[in-house]
Amino acid sequence: MKILRKNNMEEKLKMKQKSLECPVCKSNKAMIVGENVKLGGRFENKEFLTTELTVLRCTKCGYYMFFDKMAQFTTKDKS
């Protein structure tokens, strides 16, 4: 039983690699416009502060996308 639980935990920790896609225009191109950004605000008289985020901006439509530290970004250059 312990081995099965360990394997299940390892599977949950594995990250799936996905291609970036803007939810608005479906473009796959974006530029990093901020790293280690923290957002703060107030909701129902309670203040909040996010963890550090990476901010990407779609180069086609300008939509901003926010990702936590778990996200990793790579570039693919067409040769």
Residue 48 confidence (pLDDT)? 85
pLDDT in tens, 11-59: 555 556 677 899 999 999 999 999 999 888 888 888 988 889 999 999 9
pTM, two decimal places: 0.65
CATH assignment, 16-67: 2.20.25
- CB count, 10 Å around CB of 56? 21
Extents of the domains making up the chain: 16-67
C-alpha–C-alpha distance, residues 28 and 56, integer Å: 11
Q: What does DSSP assign to residue 57?
A: E
Residue 33 confidence (pLDDT)? 94
